[in-house]
Chain A
Amino acid sequence: MLLSIENLRTYFYSRSKRAFVRSVDGASLSVGRGETLGVVGESGSGKTLAALSAAGLVAGSPGVIGGRIEFKSRNLLDGLERYVKVQERDGRVSAVEKDERGWARRAERLMSGVRGKEIAMIFQNPRAALNPYSTVGAQLVEAVRLHTKWKSKGEAKERALHWLERVRIDSPRLRFDNFPFGMSGGMCQRAMIAMALCAEPSLLIADEPTTGLDATIQARIVELLGELKAGTGITTLLISHDISVIRRLADRVAVMYAGTVVESGAASQVLRPHATEQHPYTTALLASVPSAEAIRAKSALQAIEGEVPDTTSVPRGCRFYGRCNRVTDAVRSRCANLEPPPSEIEPGHKLRCWLHAA
Chain B
Amino acid sequence: MRRYVEAGTVLHLPLLQRATALDLLYVSYGLLIVALVFASYLIGALGWLPHDPRAMNVALINAAPFTPGHLLGTDFLGRDLQARLILGIQAYFVPGLLAITISIVGGSVLGILAGYRGGAFDTLVTYFANLLDSFPRLVLILLVIAAFKADIYYVMVVVGITGMPAIASLVAGKIAFLRQKSFIEAAHALGLPAHTVILKHILWLNCRAPLVIQATLGMAEAILIETSLSYLGFGVQEPTPSWGNMVLAGANYFLQGNFWPSTAPAAAILATILGFQLLGDGLNNLLEGKRR
Contact = CB atoms under 8 A, between A and B. Distances in A.
B191 interface: yes
18 contacts: A57-B185, A59-B185, A115-B188, A115-B191, A116-B189, A123-B182, A123-B185, A123-B186, A128-B181, A128-B182, A129-B183, A129-B185, A133-B206, A142-B190, A146-B191, A147-B191, A181-B12, A199-B191
Interface string A121-141: 101010011111110000000
Contacts of B189: 55, 57, 115-116, 120-121, 123
A193 interface: no
A128 B187 CA distance: 11
A39 interface: no
Contacts of A196: 190
A156 interface: no
A134 B205 contact: yes
A352 interface: no
Contacts of A146: 190-192
A224 B190 CA distance: 21
Given A131-B205, A132-B10, A121 B183 contact: no
Interface in A179-218: 181-182, 192, 195-196, 199
A191 B182 CA distance: 15
B10 A121 contact: no
A130 B191 contact: no
Q: Main secondary structure on chain B at its contact with chain A?
A: helix
A313 B12 CA distance: 46
A195 B187 CA distance: 10
B201 interface: yes
Given A181-B10, A181-B12, A130 B183 contact: yes
The 5 closest A-B pairs by CB, nearest first: A116-B191, A129-B186, A133-B205, A121-B189, A116-B190
Contacts of B187: 131
Interface residues of B, number: 17
Interface of A: 55, 57, 59, 114-117, 120-121, 123, 125, 128-134, 142-143, 146-147, 181-182, 192, 195-196, 199
A46 B182 CA distance: 18
Contacts of B191: 114-117, 146-147, 199
Nearest to A130: B183
B143 to A, nearest CB: 39
B212 to A, nearest CB: 14
Given A57-B188, A115-B189, 18 more contacts: A55-B189, A59-B179, A115-B188, A115-B190, A116-B191, A116-B192, A128-B181, A128-B183, A129-B183, A131-B201, A131-B205, A131-B206, A133-B10, A133-B205, A133-B206, A142-B190, A146-B190, A146-B192
B153 to A, nearest CB: 35
B192 A142 contact: yes
A55 B187 CA distance: 13
Interface of B: 10, 12, 179, 181-183, 185-192, 201, 205-206
Contacts of B12: 181-182
A128 B189 CA distance: 14
A59 B194 CA distance: 14
A131 B181 CA distance: 9
Nearest to B119: A100
B216 to A, nearest CB: 20
B183 A143 contact: no
B105 to A, nearest CB: 21
Contacts of A120: 189-190
A133 B174 CA distance: 14
A128 B182 CA distance: 6
Contacts of B185: 57, 59, 123, 129
B227 to A, nearest CB: 37
A121 B189 CA distance: 6
Contact of A195 (B181, B190, B205): B190
Contact of A192 (B10, B186, B192, B205): B186
Contacts of A57: 185, 188-189
B11 to A, nearest CB: 9
Contacts of A116: 189-192
Contacts of B186: 121, 123, 129-130, 192
A183 B183 CA distance: 16
Contacts of A142: 190, 192
Contacts of B179: 59
B205 to A, nearest CB: 4
Contacts of B206: 131, 133
Nearest to A147: B191
A38 to B, nearest CB: 20
Residue among A55, A120, A129, A142 with the highest chain B CB neighbour number at 10 A:
A129
A195 B191 CA distance: 11
B183 A132 contact: yes
Nearest to B178: A131
A116 B196 CA distance: 14
B199 to A, nearest CB: 13
